[in-house]
Amino acid sequence: MEGAESRGLKPGELSTGTTIMAVPFEGGVVLGADSRVSTGTYIANRVSDKIAQLSDNIFCCRSGSAADTQALTDYVKHYLSQLAIETGDQPTVKTAAHIMRRLCYENKDQLMAGVIIAGWSKSEGGVVYNIPLGGSCIKMPFAIGGSGSTYIYGLIDADFKEGLSEEESRTLVKKCISHAMARDGSSGGVIRTVTVTPNGNVRDYTPGNKLPYGPCGW
């Protein structure tokens, strides 16, 4: 891949210029992401799914190198399934986040991966953990990441408040990702969301021609 080494990537590795986000609400959490995968100025995939399921009620939003984050989510999914068999109970979001954190931290020299772990568990409810480059792990009231996140910090600071409903959380996620996609050349495509509750998970997507906000529709 031309110019890969100058951007800190290994030759042949795809970088997911990305906008990812997770917002908890009373009884669950909403995760969202754009769908553009780029390698330099070339768009390798317009409709990638950057939200990976790790366990029944735990999901991961991926940003950074597509290969690195896919490998990490596969490892964590395997470890969580083994843990569920050994304990006879579903793992918590905190457990998933700390497994991911350990993998990222202990291999930080070989990885370019920033992820958000979010979901619902009996002991925690809806919860969000941010694991940026380097492998730290921070529980947060909401989380955003990827190249598009730099454009929307002010927007989410202004619009986020504690105690959002499920619909308000989903609307906020779509609004912020839509704004980021309009400004960030590495984010685009469709908006995918996953709403996680104890009653199940609901996937949704918004086509690129039906985004709630765009360059001319603020």
Give domain status of residue 217, yes or no: no
d(CA 202, CA 105): 31
Give domain status of residue 218, yes or no: no
Secondary structure (DSSP) of 8-36: TPPTTPPEE---EEEEEETTEEEEEE---
- Judged against a pLDDT cut of 50, whether residue 1 lies above it is answered with no
Give domain status of residue 68, yes or no: yes
Q: What is the pLDDT of residue 14?
A: 55
d(CA 184, CA 136): 25
19 is a catalytic site residue: no
**Phi, psi dihedrals of residue 4, rounded to the nearest 5°:** -65, -45
- Global pTM reads 0.89
Give domain status of residue 133, yes or no: yes
Give the number of domains in the chain: 1
Give domain status of residue 215, yes or no: no
Give domain status of residue 80, yes or no: yes
Give domain status of residue 96, yes or no: yes
Q: Would the CA dihedral through 80, 86, 90, 91 be positive or negative? A: negative
Give domain status of residue 104, yes or no: yes
Range of the domain at 113: 5-210
DSSP 4: T
**CATH code of 56's domain:** 3.60.20.10
Catalytic residue among 18, 19, 69, 92: 18
State which amino acid sits at residue 4: A
**For 183-218, what is each residue's pLDDT tens digit?**
998 899 999 999 999 999 999 999 988 888 755 444
**For 56-66, what is each residue's pLDDT tens digit?**
999 999 999 98
Strand pairing class (28-33; 20-25): antiparallel
| Lookup: tokens for 98 | 């700390």
Of 181 and 9, the structure prediction assigns the larger pLDDT to 181
Secondary structure (DSSP) of 182-199: HH-TT--S-EEEEEEETT
